[in-house]
Structure 1
Amino acid sequence: MLQIQEQVIKENGYTLHLIPNEKFKTINIVAKMKAPLERETITKRALLPYVLQQGTRRYPTRLQLQSALDDLYGAVLSLDGAKKGDFHIISYRLEVANQKFIQQETDIVEKAINLLYEVIFQPNMKGIGFEPTVFAREKETLKEKIAAITDDKLAYANMRLMDEMCVDEAYGLHVHGYKEDLVQLTPENTYHYYEQLLMEDDMDIYIMGDFDSNKMQEFFRASFVRTDSGNNEYEKLENTNTSQNRDLNREPQEVIEKQPIQQAKLHIGYRTNCTYRDETYAALQVFNGIFGGFPSSKLFINVREKNSLAYYAASRIESHKGLLIVFSGITSKDYKKARAIMEQQMTAMKEGKFTEEDMEEAKEQIMNQLLETMDHPQGMMELLYQQVIANRSLSPHELIAQIKATTIEQVIHVASNIQEDTIYLLTGEEDVTNA
Structure 2
Amino acid sequence: MKITKETILEKDGYRLHILPSKKYKTMNIVAKFKAPLKRDGITERALLPHVLQKATNQHPSVRSFQAAFENLYGTALSSDGSKKGENHVISFRMEVVNESYLNDNEPILEEAFQLFHNVLFDPKTVENGFDPEIVEREKQTLEQKITSIKDDKMSYANLRLMDHMCKGEPYALHVHGYQEDMSSITPESLYTYYQQMIKQDMLDVYVIGDMDEKDVETLTDRYFHRSGSTNEDNDQVSVSKEVQDSSEIIEREEVNQGKLHLGYRTYTKFGDDDYYALQVFNGIFGGFPSSKLFMNVREKHSLAYYAASRFESHKGLLLVFSGVDPKDYDQAKSIILDQMEAMKNGDFTEEQVEETKEQVINQLKETMDNANGLIEVLYHQMLSGIDMPADQLIENIRGVTKEQVVQMAEKIKLDTIYFLTSHEGGEE
Q: TM-score, normalised by structure 2?
A: 0.97
Q: Give the match for residue 381 of structure 1.
A: 375
In the other structure, the counterpart of 2:342 is 348
2:25 paired residue number: 25
Q: Which residue of 2 aligns with 1:50?
A: 50
Cα pair distance change 1:395/1:427, threshold 3 Å: farther
Supply the AA of the counterpart residue of 1:46.
A
Whether the 8 Å CA contact 2:2–2:389 is kept in 1: the answer is no
- Matching of residue 366 in structure 1 with residue 360 in structure 2: yes
Q: Which residue of 2 aligns with 1:209?
A: 209
SS of equivalent to 1:269: strand
1:424 counterpart SS class = strand
The answer to whether the 8 Å contact 1:373/1:380 transfers is yes
State the partner residue of 1:425. 419
Q: Does 1:115 align with 2:115?
A: yes
- Which position in structure 2 is the counterpart of 1:298? 292
Per-residue deviation, 1:390: 2.0
Distance 1:228 1:404 in 2: 46
Structure 1 residues 46-125: aligned runs within 5 Å: 46-125=46-125
Amino acid paired to 1:21: S
Q: Which residue of 1 aligns with 2:392?
A: 398
Q: Relative to 1, partners in 2 of residues 1:243 and 1:279: Cα closer, same or farther, differing over 3 Å?
A: farther
CA contact (8 A) 1:313 1:327 kept: yes
Tell me the percent identity.
Answer: 50
Is 1:138 equivalent to 2:138 in the alignment? yes
Secondary structure of 1:149's partner? helix
| 2:196 is aligned with 1:196 | yes
User: Number of aligned pairs?
Assistant: 428
Q: What TM-score, normalized by structure 1, do the two folds share?
A: 0.96
CA contact (8 A) 1:35 1:234 kept: yes
Q: Which residue of 1 aligns with 2:164?
A: 164
CA distance in 1, matches of 2:185, 2:12: 31
* 1-structure distance, mates of 2:395, 2:239: 25
What SS class does the counterpart of residue 348 from structure 2 fall into? coil
Match for residue 308 of structure 1 among 271, 284, 302: 302
Deviation at 1:350, TM superposition (A): 1.1
Offset at residue 78 of structure 1 (A): 1.1
CA separation of 1:193 and 1:397: change in aligned 2, threshold 3 A? farther
Partner of 1:16: 16
| 8 A Cα contact 2:258 2:325, kept in partner | yes
* Amino acid paired to 1:172: A
Q: C-alpha offsets along residues 286-316 of structure 1, whole Å, 9 cap, x if unaligned?
A: 0000100000001001111111111110000
Amino acid corresponding to residue 133 of structure 1 in structure 2: E
Asked if 1 retains the 8 angstrom alpha-carbon contact of 2:3 and 2:390, the reply is no
Paired AA for residue 85 in structure 1 = G
Deviation (angstroms), 1:232: 5.0
Q: Give the match for residue 227 of structure 1.
A: 227
Quick check: 1:259–1:427 contact (8 Å CA) kept in 2? yes
- Aligned equivalents of 1:397 and 1:63: distance in 2? 46
Structure 1 distance, partners of 2:125, 2:140, is 18
Tell me the residue number matched to 1:6.
6
CA distance in 1, matches of 2:117, 2:232: 25
Kindly indicate whether the alpha-carbon contact (under 8 Å) linking 1:27 and 1:207 is maintained by their aligned counterparts in 2.
yes
RMSD: 1.4
